[in-house]
Amino acid sequence: MPPSSGSSATIHLTGWGAVSPAGWSATALADAVLADSPLPHTSERRVPEAPERMFRRVPPMPATPDWMKQPRLRRTTAAARHAVHAAVQALGESHLEAVRSSGRRIGTIFCTMSGCVQFSRRFYAEVLANPLLASPILFPETVYNAPASHVSSLLGSPEMNYTLVGDSAQFLAGLDLAAQWLDDGLVDACLVIAAEELDWISDEALLLFAPQAVSAEGAAAVLLEKGGTSPSTDSAITLRAVTEAFTYGQERDRPQAATAVRRALERHRAPGTVLCDGSNPQALASDGTRTRGDTTEQQLWQDWDAPSYGVRPVLGEGFAITSGWQTVLACELLQRGLASQAFISAVGLTQQAVGAVLQGPAPIPSQP
């Protein structure tokens, strides 16, 4: 069954990568979620009268990668560094030079909700203080598409490069767009990336809607290719379907959109299917007690009778990265043989609900 775009081709996920509070790899992310224990978080107040924000940072890099030594990446924001690292993982760091020289047309789709908020805040603070002294070095990194431009520059790619600003379900919509590009022959492969960075502006804004939420930063990336276009697609994970993006509005509220996603996903139910959802049934308060979290998705899948895995309870609220982390987690589960198919349920924070179905390289087991 093709993605919702109507793609007639078989689309494969041939590589993936992640940066998260669990570490600088997809393996670290999956291990943390499988351990099913919330990672430690930090609490602080910007000023004594400000609300207490809770967050999980990405740990320091264990070693400086070669790509970080490029001059253009020395003054980038955290979101850009996270995005580049996840993209390099998805491509295969050892094959990066071969990718650059291969002549393959690699497109880039970057998804974000807050964007490069650190440099934006710093730049506009300088403008307000004294416009004559505002640093022009900061400004290029304030735009939403700055991380995507760094990725394409690193690859030396002049191919299609889009930035999609959306909510926590936007990554799945990005998968659908990538499938369209591949089916139309616009690119030979496509990177879909999401990245965010921590800053008190977005952290405190989150508290207005979820007072006990723990924000998080990082990135996720997957590489999509058409079946049969390279040896890596022969035993790769298949993008079996992406649902319609069910948007919220006067005719459809958030729970109704979530229900529509589940209905669409259930059509693909098969033995060996696991669920990678975005629910956060419990949030950790600053005093260590647990409080009721966002229950829309929790209630949606409360009768699910197979294994399920959630990234938010362990990693935190990653905004646009959340469904990207879910996708990377699904890929890891399929690759490790822990499932033969995965449902990804993304009930976005503010805009849309989207679902996706990934199928592993192993055949789906028959019913006992």
Predicted confidence (pLDDT) per residue in 62-89, tens digit: 888 887 777 777 778 899 999 999 999 9
Q: Please give the span between the terminal C-alpha atoms of the chain, in angstroms, as a whole number.
A: 25
Q: Would you state the pLDDT for residue 72?
A: 77
- Please check whether residue 77 lies inside any domain of the structure: yes
Q: Are residues 91 and 197 in the same domain?
A: yes
User: Residue 83: what residue type?
Assistant: A
Q: Are residues 15 and 119 in the same domain?
A: yes
d(CA 69, CA 85): 12
Q: Would you state the pLDDT for residue 1?
A: 38
**Could you tell me whether strands 214-216 and 52-56 are parallel, antiparallel, or unpaired per DSSP bridges?**
parallel
For residues 294 and 206, the answer to whether their CB atoms sit within 8 Å is no
d(CA 225, CA 246): 26
Q: Radius of gyration of the chain from Cα atoms?
A: 20
Q: Would you state the pLDDT for residue 229?
A: 62
CATH number for the domain spanning 350: value is: 3.40.47.10
User: Residue 305: what residue type?
Assistant: D
Q: Are residues 276 and 318 in the same domain?
A: yes
Distance of CA 363 to the CA centre of its chain: 27
* Residue ranges in the chain modelled with pLDDT below 70: 1-8, 94, 139, 228-235, 280-294, 362-368
Q: Are residues 54 and 182 in the same domain?
A: yes
Q: Would you state the pLDDT for residue 135?
A: 76
Domain containing 103 equals 11-233
- Please check whether residue 22 lies inside any domain of the structure: yes
Q: Are residues 83 and 226 in the same domain?
A: yes
| 204 CB-near residues (< 8 Å, 6+ apart) | 46, 50, 51, 53
Q: Would you state the pLDDT for residue 234?
A: 57
Partners of 341 in the β-ladder: 273, 359
Q: Would you state the pLDDT for residue 87?
A: 95
Q: Are residues 74 and 213 in the same domain?
A: yes
- Please check whether residue 261 lies inside any domain of the structure: yes
User: Residue 79: what residue type?
Assistant: A
- Please check whether residue 46 lies inside any domain of the structure: yes
Q: Would you state the pLDDT for residue 6?
A: 55
- Please check whether residue 65 lies inside any domain of the structure: yes
Q: Which of 203, 233, 263 is the last residue of a domain?
A: 233
Q: What is the pLDDT of residues 36-53, one digit of tens each?
A: 999 999 999 999 999 999
Q: Are residues 59 and 147 in the same domain?
A: yes
Q: Which of 233, 264, 295 is the last residue of a domain?
A: 233
| 181 CB-near residues (< 8 Å, 6+ apart) | 107, 160, 187, 190
In three-state form (DSSP H/G/I as H, E/B as E, the rest C), the secondary structure along the chain is: CCCCCCCCCCEEEEEEEEEECCECCHHHHHHHHHHCCCCCCEEEECCCCCCEEEEECCCCCCCCCHHHHCHHHCCCCHHHHHHHHHHHHHHCHHHHHHHHHCCCCEEEEEEECCCCHHHHHHHHHHHHHCHHHCCCCCHHHHCCCHHHHHHHHHHCCCCCEEEEECCCCHHHHHHHHHHHHHHCCCCCEEEEEEEECCCHHHHHHHHHHCCCCEEECEEEEEEEEECCCCHHHCCCEEEEEECCCEECCCCCCHHHHHHHHHHHHHCCCCCCEEEEECCCCEEECCCCCEEECCCHHHHHCCCCCCCEEECHHHHCECHHHHHHHHHHHHHHHHHCCCCCEEEEEEECCCCEEEEEEEECCCCCCCCC
Q: Are residues 50 and 191 in the same domain?
A: yes
Q: Are residues 118 and 207 in the same domain?
A: yes
Q: Are residues 98 and 242 in the same domain?
A: no
d(CA 98, CA 95): 5
Degrees (nearest 5) of the Cα angle 301, 306, 312?
Answer: 55
Q: Which of 181, 212, 233 is the last residue of a domain?
A: 233
- Please check whether residue 191 lies inside any domain of the structure: yes
Q: Are residues 66 and 210 in the same domain?
A: yes
Q: What is the pLDDT of residues 305-358, one digit of tens each?
A: 999 999 999 999 999 999 999 999 999 999 999 999 999 999 999 999 999 999
d(CA 171, CA 326): 10
Q: Are residues 19 and 120 in the same domain?
A: yes
